[in-house]
Structure 1
Amino acid sequence: MRRFAVFILVIVVAYAIFIDISKGTLPEAQEKSDEQPAVTASTTETEPDAPFIEKEVKPGDTVLSIVEKENNGLENVPINVIVTDFSTLNAGLKPEDIKYGQVYKFPTYEHEN
């Protein structure tokens, strides 16, 4: 009986690993194919007054890392200002909701010397 229980356990674990590898269990892997762009351009929208750049997000990028790269470091700009500016430029999108492969607007800041 013990051998049969171990055999069943091995089969269940093998099946779980097979499903995980073949189909995946992360929601991003399943949503990627039918996903719509995060930011859609419209001719009726007006461009914001704040300076910004449009950039495609790569795997591992965060809003803060992209803004720091594009602005050569940010010593004088608080993180909450960056988050607020990003959300304003992208119709209320939270920084933690960005997805790689999509293009977003990132704020740029002038350096004071």
Structure 2
Amino acid sequence: MKNFIFFVILLIVLAGTWNDLTRGSLPQKDPSVIHEKESSPATNTSIPSQTVKIKGGDTVLSILEEIHNGKLPVDISQAVNDFSQLNKGITPEQVQIGQSYQFPIYE
């Protein structure tokens, strides 16, 4: 009976490993999902910004990198400070799916 249980556990582990190696276990971004964007200047500040609606799996950093074609031209702490300034003190940890936020645009 012990051998049978070990055999079943081994099969489960091997099946999980095979699945991870062939299909992957990390979610991939769906290229068909496009953020709703509205380019607009910030109302209270001189930082140019873009309005983006948060989708599932998005982070402030991932959206900023998407806006800037993969490379953020400023330090992350500067980007976080600018994001908070544009959004009335909201930190990146407080963003909610389905809500729209202002994201700084750097040149």
Q: Same fold (TM over 0.5)?
A: yes
Structure 1 residues 100 and 109: alpha-carbon distance in aligned structure 2, compared to 1, 3 A threshold: same
**Cα distance, 1:73 vs structure 2:** 2.4
Of 36, 50, 53, 1:53 maps to: 50
Residue equivalent to 2:87: 90
2:77 match: 80
Give the partner amino acid of 1:96.
E
Pair 1:75–1:97, CA change in 2 (3 A)? closer
Give the structure with the larger helix fraction: 1
Q: Which fold has the larger relative contact order, with Cα–Cα distance below 8 Å and residues 6 or more apart in sequence?
A: 1
Q: What is the CA distance between 1:82 and its match in structure 2? A: 0.6
- 3-state DSSP of counterpart to 1:87: helix
TM-score of the two chains, using structure 2 as the length reference? 0.57
Aligned mates of 2:54, 2:96 — CA distance in 1: 7
Whichever structure has more strand as a proportion of its residues is 2
Percentage identity across paired residues of the two chains: 48
TM-score under structure 1 length normalisation: 0.54
Partner of 2:13: none
Q: Does 1:102 align with 2:99?
A: yes
Q: What count of residue pairs does the alignment treat as equivalent?
A: 66
Give ranges in structure 1 of 5+ residues lacking alignment. 1-45
The CA distance in 2 between the partners of 1:106 and 1:75, in whole Å, is: 12
Shift of 1:75: 4.9
Structure (1 or 2) with the larger CA radius of gyration: 1
